[in-house]
Amino acid sequence: MRMKSVSAISLVLAGLTAMPAAAEDLTTWLPTLSIYGGYQTATNSKVKVSDGTHFNSDWEGGSFKSPPYWGARATWWLNGMGYDNWGVALDYSHAKVIASDDTLNNRTPGWSHFEFTDGLNLVTLNGIYRFQKPGQDWTPYLGAGLGINVPHVEVIRPSGKTWDYQVGGVTGQLMGGIDYRFTEHISGFTEIKLNYSRVDVDIDSGDKLKTNIFTGAINVGLSYHF
């Protein structure tokens, strides 16, 4: 009985000793969670409608108007695989584009409203490389990714109204920035983010609307590192 008791105690002690290492392994695979906002705009683009309507739209971002531009990201750094500087990130941004007054008043045939403002939602899977140095709080990084755009299509024209979410098509993303570590778990960052979105959506009367939108943003955000 005594030998069995000693063996049981030894197993418990061994388990308690291994717990910190197991916890450390777990945190290696927990994501860095980030949230950001900033200034976002877009270049003009050609708009084509299947009924034969063609025009150039000047876009405005309206970053700070409700609903504002914002984004969130989860990044898994590949420390556990021996690639400390590489990461995989799932990124979402609530981008927005609003047709200018000049576009609506002078270029469209009677359209009174044309926006993707709730929003031009972008979801991308990205690869990220960070330029880490021991003892350095500043860490530059670069990233690129692919995904989809899900615009809230807002079109009001003489033939009808469209007001719904649709899958628009493919989106590509490039980003680069600098992260500054305030504490072990908290850091702040600023970055530039560029997106290309191929938008192909349905509007009223059975028509299709197509346009290619380039958006750019200057972001400021905070991250939590597990």
Give me the DSSP letters along 135-201. Answer: T-SEEEEEEEEEEEEEEEEEEEETTEEEEEE---EEEEEEEEEEEEESSSSEEEEEEEEEEEEEEEE
Tell me the mean pLDDT in the region 56-60.
Answer: 97
209 compared with 29, residue with greater pLDDT: 209
pLDDT of 194 strictly over 70: yes
pLDDT of 157 strictly over 80: yes
**What is d(CA 150, CA 114) in angstroms, rounded to the nearest whole number?**
16
Q: Are 139 and 172 in contact (CB under 8 A)?
A: no
Look up residue 64 and give its two tokens. Answer: 């700070």
Predicted TM-score (pTM) of this structure: 0.86
pLDDT of 71 strictly over 70: yes
pLDDT above 70 as % of the chain? 88
Confidence bin at 161 (pLDDT 50/70/90) = very high
Confidence at residue 139, expressed as pLDDT on a 0 to 100 scale: 98
pLDDT of 28 strictly over 90: no
Residue type (1 letter), 202: D
Q: Which residues have CB under 8 Å from 56's CB, separation 6+?
A: 44, 45, 46, 47, 103, 107
Q: Are 126 and 173 in contact (CB under 8 A)?
A: yes
57 compared with 10, residue with greater pLDDT: 57
